[in-house]
Chains A and B, each alone.
Chain A
Amino acid sequence: MQMSISKSDAKKLQKLRLKASRKDQYKRFTRTKAGNFFYTLFLVVFGLYSILPMIYCIITSFKPLDELLVFPPRFYVVSPTPSNYLTLPSLLDNLAVPLSRYAFNSIFVSVVTTFFHILVASAAAFVLAKTDIKGKKIIFTVIQMSLLYNAYTLEIPRYLIYSTLGMIDTYLVYILPAIPSSMGVFLMKQFMDTNVPDPLIEAARIDGAGSFRIYWQIAMPIVKPAWLTLTLFSFRDMWSIVPGGTIFSEELKTLPFAASTIASGGIARQGCAMAVTVIMMIPPILVYLISQRSVTQTMSSAGIK
Chain B
Amino acid sequence: MKKDKNTETITIAEGSSATSVKDIIKAEKAELRAKKREERLKKKQKIAYDHRGNIIPDLNKKHVKGIESKKSMYGRMFILPWCIGMLLFFIVPLFESLWYSFCYVEVAPGEMYSVFEGIENYRFIFEEDMDFVNNLTKSISSFFTSMPIIVIVSLILALVLNGNFKGRTFFRGVFFVPVIVATGVVMTLLTRSYGGYGAIVQLSAKSAEDAYSAAGTTSGMDFSALLNQLNLPEDLTAQLSKMITDIFNTIWTCGIPVVLYIAGLQTIPAQLYEASKVEGATTWEEFWYITLPMIGQTILLVIVFTLIELLTQSNSLVINQAYTQMIDNANYYHSAAMLWVFFAIVGTIIGLIILIYSKLCLKRWE
User: Is A6 in contact with chain B by the CB < 8 A criterion?
Assistant: no
Given contacts A49-B248, A123-B79, A154-B97, contact A54 B177 (CB under 8 A): yes
Q: B192 contacts which chain A residues (CB < 8 A)?
A: 263
| B157 contact set on A, CB distance < 8 A | 46
Say whether B346 faces chain A, with CB atoms less than 8 Å apart: yes
In Å, the complex CA distance between A71 and B90 comes to: 50
Q: Is A296 an interface residue (CB 8 A)?
A: yes
Please tell me if A150 contacts chain B, counting CB pairs below 8 Å: yes
CB-based contact B89/A152 at 8 Å: no
Contact A126 B308 (CB under 8 A): no
Stretch at the interface among A9-17, A90-98, A284-292: A284-292
The answer to whether A155 and B326 touch across the interface, beta carbons within 8 angstroms, is yes
Determine whether the beta carbon of B181 is less than 8 Å from that of A133.
no
Contacts of B86 in A (CB 8 A): 142, 146, 180, 182
Which residues from chain A contact B202 at a C-beta distance below 8 Å? Answer: 71-73
A-B contacts at CB below 8 angstroms, number: 265
User: Whose C-beta in chain A lies nearest to the C-beta of B94?
Assistant: A154
Among candidates A46, A147, A240, residue contacting B184 with C-beta atoms closer than 8 Å: A240
- Contact flags A172-213 to B (C-beta < 8 A → 1, else 0): 000011011010010000000000000000000100001110
Given contacts A51-B174, A155-B326, A300-B266, contact A43 B339 (CB under 8 A): no
Give the complex CA separation of A71 and B197 in angstroms: 12
Q: Does B203 contact A (CB under 8 A)?
A: yes
The answer to whether B197 and A267 touch across the interface, beta carbons within 8 angstroms, is yes
A127–B75 contact, CB under 8 A? Answer: yes
Q: Which residue of chain A has the shortest Cβ distance to B85 in the bound complex?
A: A180
Residues of A within 8 A of B190 (CB): 53-54, 57, 277
| A160 CB to nearest chain B CB (Å) | 6
Residue of chain B at shortest CB distance from A130:
B75
Q: Do A43 and B85 contact each other (CB < 8 Å), given the known contacts A51-B177, A53-B193?
A: no
Whether B93 lies near A280 (C-beta < 8 A) is no
Q: Which residues of A contact B266 (CB under 8 A)?
A: 296-297, 300
- Please name all residues of chain B whose beta carbon is closer than 8 Å to the beta carbon of A263 when the two chains form the complex: 185, 189, 192
Interface membership of A8, Cβ < 8 A: no
Q: Tell me the smallest distance from the CB of A281 to a CB of chain B, in Å.
A: 5
The answer to whether the Cβ of A87 comes within 8 Å of any Cβ in the partner chain is no
Complex CA–CA separation, A180 to B89 (angstroms): 8
Q: Is the CB of A57 within 8 A of B193?
A: yes
Report the separation of the CA atoms of residues A208 and B316 in the bound assembly, to the nearest whole angstrom.
53
User: Which residue of B72, B74, B181, B208 contacts A54 across the interface (Cβ within 8 Å)?
Assistant: B181
A65 vs B175: C-alpha distance in the bound complex, in angstroms?
31
Given contacts A128-B79, A150-B319, A256-B186, contact A274 B193 (CB under 8 A): yes
Binds A, one of B52-60, B120-128, B131-139, B256-264: B256-264
Q: Mark B315-344, 1 if CB is under 8 A from A, else 0.
A: 000010011001100001000000100010
Interface status of B284 (Cβ within 8 A of chain A): no
| Chain B interface residue number, banded | 35 or more
Chain A neighbourhood of B251, CB < 8 A: 46, 49-50
Q: Distance (Å) between the CB of B325 and the closest chain A CB? A: 11
Contacts of A123-157 to chain B: CB distance below 8 A:
123-124, 126-128, 131-134, 139, 142, 145-150, 152-157
Residues of A within 8 A of B130 (CB): none
Bound CA span A292–B127, Å? 51
Set of chain A residues within 8 Å of B164, measured between Cβ atoms: 25-26, 28-29
**Candidates A26, A148, A284, A303; contact of B180 at CB < 8 Å:** A284
- B208 partner residues in chain A, CB cutoff 8 A: 71
Residues from chain B with a CB closer than 8 A to the CB of A242 are 184-185
Residues from chain B with Cβ under 8 Å of A248 in the complex: none
Q: Which residues of B contact A227 (CB under 8 A)?
A: none
Contacting pair A126 B85 (CB below 8 A):
no
> Once the chains bind, are B259 and A299 in contact (CB under 8 Å)?
yes
Q: Are B301 and A303 in contact (CB under 8 A)?
A: yes
Q: Closest CB of chain B to A271's CB: distance in Å?
A: 10
CB–CB B85/A120 < 8 A: yes
Contact present for A176 and B89 (CB under 8 Å) = yes
A273-B193 Cα distance, complex, nearest whole Å: 9
Return A8 CB to nearest CB of chain B, in Å.
Answer: 25
Residues on A with C-beta less than 8 A from B112 are: 156, 160
A210–B77 CA distance with the chains assembled, in angstroms:
13
Complex Cα distance, B93 from A163, in Å, reads 13
- Which of B70, B94, B259 contacts A296, CB < 8 Å? B259
Closest A residue to B338 using CB positions: A153
Also in contact, A133 and B347, with CB within 8 A (given A25-B164, A57-B194): no
Q: Does A158 contact B (CB under 8 A)?
A: yes
Residues in B neighbouring A28, C-beta threshold 8 A: 164, 270
User: Interface 1/0s, chain B 201-238, versus A by CB < 8 A?
Assistant: 01100011001100100000000000000000000000
The distance in angstroms between the C-alpha atoms of A39 and B263, with both chains bound, is: 20
> Chain A's nearest CB lies how many Å from the CB of B107?
7
Contact sample, A vs B, 19 pairs, CB 8 Å cutoff: A46-B157, A54-B178, A71-B211, A73-B202, A120-B82, A127-B78, A133-B76, A148-B346, A148-B350, A152-B319, A157-B96, A160-B110, A163-B110, A287-B180, A288-B180, A296-B263, A299-B262, A302-B260, A303-B267
